[in-house]
Amino acid sequence: MRTGIWLVGARGSVAVTSVVGALALRAGLVEPTGCVTELPALRSPALPAYADLVFGGHDLVPTPVVKKAEALAAAGVLPARLVTALPDELAAVENEIRPVPTAERQADVIAALVADLTNFKQRNRLDRVVMVNVSATEPAPEPHPAYADLAALEQALSTEATVLPNSSAYAYAAFTAGCSYVDFTPSTGARLPALAELAAREGLPYAGHDGKTGETLVKSVLAPMFAMRNLRVRTWSGVNLLGGGDGANLAEPAANAAKAASKQRVLGETLGYVPQGNTRIEYVDDIGDFKTAWDLVTFSGFLGTAMRMEFTWHGCDSALAAPLVLDLARLTATAHRTGRGGPLGELAFFFKDPLGEGPHSLPEQWATLCAFVRQLDADAAQQGGAGDAGRSDPAQG
């Protein structure tokens, strides 16, 4: 199943790490550490092989993919030997990246996006394309009446210069071009009733949003522990320090607020109440693509005894996110292939603020994901065989 992955923000750290990782897996140069779909419980012949993944995308910045990869290697995000070993493959990806279209009317921008997606699919003889948004976090948009239903949105796009936030314009373009959509950011993306209606009309799946890679991943493990032990969490506060492009973007207050809200949501959904406290995000240029989080949790136990715990998380955001981008693209492409449409709540395991109906605690999300993959296997087999027969090692997918 030849599958295109169209990356919004294709020259950013997460996108380039994803590309280098997929190319290295294809060449057998690395192990699939961090790729959830390579665990025994989730390995599936229905998923597209790494050899069948074709990358393209949009970006505002002109830095070539290979130069970004070299910078990431210098920063310790990925091994320099991989960049040296994959020059032709990285050049091929660079040839599939397009500048972000510009026009006075957003409808014309969307039309250009659709044309880029359609040409990408035709040029590479792809069975289907998944758009994955890994661009900078957007501020939450102001309410607009056109967001309520598709007819109103189409009318507004025909008469107004700008209607949708960029992430939602990309989702609109993806659905219009017959592509599924994954939002790895906390931006609005497909989370509008009008876009849900468009995806349903076109029979397309979508997933999101805000990939769960670091501090929030730890929260999603610890919060069920407190809930299942009937311990009352009184406060949960955290400080996140990060650099790189993501950190610079989150220095902007509106984008910072959107990200912080997404990071806190898991607590209310898992505990059943919202403890006091918040998450603060600070930009520290010197730490680059690495980030550090400090969390303080206070809680009470039997007889109201006051207790506390603290933890520190230090990780490389791009290296944590990239394998999940590949997992999500492969899973969403297979969901599309097997006829699923609408929000994929079964992929809640991957997100801080998941779309669709699904469980909130990580163990339940894992069980749901395993069942989902088993069902994809069964559906693919019923359609006439697996998408990638006979895969026996990670390099084969």
- At residue 216, the pLDDT reads 85
Give the residue from 72, 53, 136, 45 showing the smallest Cα distance to 290: 72
Q: How many CB atoms are located within 10 Å of the residue 369 CB?
A: 23
Pick the residue with more confidence: 267 or 148?
Answer: 148
Residue 270, pLDDT score: 87
What digits encode the pLDDT tens for the residues 166-209?
Answer: 999 999 999 999 999 999 999 999 999 999 999 999 999 999 98
Comparing 75-89, 224-238, 268-282, 336-350, the range with the smallest average pLDDT is 268-282
Residue 325 tokens, joined: 């981008």
Q: What is the pLDDT of residue 387?
A: 43
Q: What is the pLDDT of residue 289?
A: 85
User: Three-state SS string across the chain, please?
Assistant: CCEEEEEECCCCHHHHHHHHHHHHHHCCCCCCCCCHHHCCCCCCCCCCCHHHEEEEEEECCCCCHHHHHHHHHHCCCCCHHHHHHCHHHHHHHHCCEEECCCCCCHHHHHHHHHHHHHHHHHHCCCCEEEEEECCCCCCCCCCCHHHCCHHHHHHHHHHCCCCCCHHHHHHHHHHHCCCEEEECCCCCCCCCHHHHHHHHHHCCEEEECCECCCHHHHHHHHHHHHHHCCCEEEEEEEEEEECHHHHHHHCCHHHHHHHHHHHHHHHHHHHCCCCECCEEEEECHHHCCEEEEEEEEEEECHHHCEEEEEEEEEEEHHHHHHHHHHHHHHHHHHHHHCCCCEECHHHHHHECCCCCCCCCCHHHHHHHHHHHHHHHHHHHHHHHCCCCCCCCCHHHC
Q: What are phi and psi of 129, to 5 degrees?
A: -130, 135
pLDDT tops 90 at residue 366: yes
The backbone region for 76, taken as left when phi is positive above 0, alpha when psi lies in -120 to 50, beta otherwise, is: left
- Mean pLDDT over 298-307 rounds to 97
pLDDT for the residue numbered 360: 78
pTM score > 0.85 for this model?
yes
User: Is the pLDDT at 391 greater than 60, yes or no?
Assistant: no
Q: Is the pLDDT of residue 285 over 90?
A: no
* Non-local CB neighbours of 229 within 8 Å, separated by 6+ positions: none
When pLDDT is cut at 50, 70 and 90, the band that residue 85 belongs to is very high
Is pLDDT above 80 for 385? no
- In this predicted structure, what is the pLDDT of residue 264? 66
pLDDT at 259: 58
- pLDDT band, residue 6 (cuts 50/70/90): very high
- Say which range, 31-40, 236-245, 303-312, 335-344, has the weakest mean pLDDT: 236-245
Residue 256 reports pLDDT greater than 90: no
d(CA 241, CA 212): 16
Compute the mean pLDDT over every residue in the chain, rounded to the nearest whole number.
91
Report d(CA 171, CA 183) in Å as an integer. 9
